[in-house]
Amino acid sequence: MISRWKKQNIFAEINCLLNKIDRRRENKGEYPSSFCIDSQSVKLSPMVFENRGTDANKKVNRRKRQLLVDTGGRIWFAHVHAGNLHDGPAALSLSADIFCQNQRLKKIYGDQAYNGVFARKMKEFEIEFKMASRPESAKGFVPVAKRWVVERTISWTNFFRRIVKDYEYTVSSSIAWILLANIQLMLQRMEPICQI
């Protein structure tokens, strides 16, 4: 059943619906006006050979996840690819999802990795890309305005045993499990409402 739901895009539809319900619960518009984007490198199960590549920064053979979240940290879209692909060009795979999203979307926040080809593509569709990076003088961990939201969402994924490491043979299965994690988070947020 999971495979059939994945192929029919049902997880993505449920995820989108729950995100909209949670935004309404916070008295916000159903669709976000801004997104935050970032990537996460994840280790792969030893027997997975598809979409595997060495991340130049981490020097480990793995996959990367691109997460597109709203200002509340809700995952709207995800893309999984080999770790050796650069973040900016790889994020172009999210373009169709971004453009079909809604008319409210005006800005996307990201780091320097998205400032090239990805930022130019967004500009074509009149979506402003805002680069958020920490000051060069800063030492240690410094939360960067706007972008810390996606970093927090990435840290939330560490609470889900199934996605803390990538065990999936296909990237579509990896994406499905990421969406399922967000679906669980949204249901947990709504639990007090359901108990009334």
What is the tens place of the pLDDT at every residue in 176-187? 999 999 999 999
Q: Report if residue 13 sits inside a domain.
A: no
What is the tens place of the pLDDT at every residue in 30-57? 999 999 999 998 988 887 777 777 776 7
Q: Report if residue 146 sits inside a domain.
A: yes
Burial of 109 (0-12, 13-18, 19+ CB in 10 A): buried
Q: Report if residue 145 sits inside a domain.
A: yes
The answer to whether the CB of 168 falls within 8 A of the CB of 177 is yes
Say how many C-beta atoms besides its own lie within 10 A of residue 18's C-beta.
20
Q: Report if residue 135 sits inside a domain.
A: yes
Q: How confident is the model at residue 58 (pLDDT cuts 50, 70, 90)?
A: low
Q: Report if residue 14 sits inside a domain.
A: no
Burial of 41 (0-12, 13-18, 19+ CB in 10 A): middle
Q: Report if residue 118 sits inside a domain.
A: yes
E-assigned strands of the chain? Answer: 34-43, 53-55, 60-69, 75-82, 107-110, 128-131
If one compares 58 and 185, the residue with the highest pLDDT of the two is: 185
CATH number of domain containing 54: 3.30.420.10
Model's pTM, two decimal places? 0.86
Q: Report if residue 130 sits inside a domain.
A: yes
The answer to whether the CB of 72 falls within 8 A of the CB of 152 is no
Q: Show the tokens assigned to 190.
A: 């709504």
- Is the pLDDT confidence value at 63 over 50? yes
What is the tens place of the pLDDT at every residue in 104-161? 899 999 988 999 999 999 999 889 999 876 656 656 555 556 778 999 999 998 899 9
- Is the pLDDT confidence value at 21 over 60? yes
Q: Report if residue 99 sits inside a domain.
A: yes
Q: Which residues contact 159 (CB under 8 A, 6 or more apart)?
A: none
- pLDDT value of residue 196: 46
- pLDDT value of residue 144: 57
Residue 81's domain comprises 32-169
- Domains in the chain: how many in total? 1
- pLDDT value of residue 193: 53
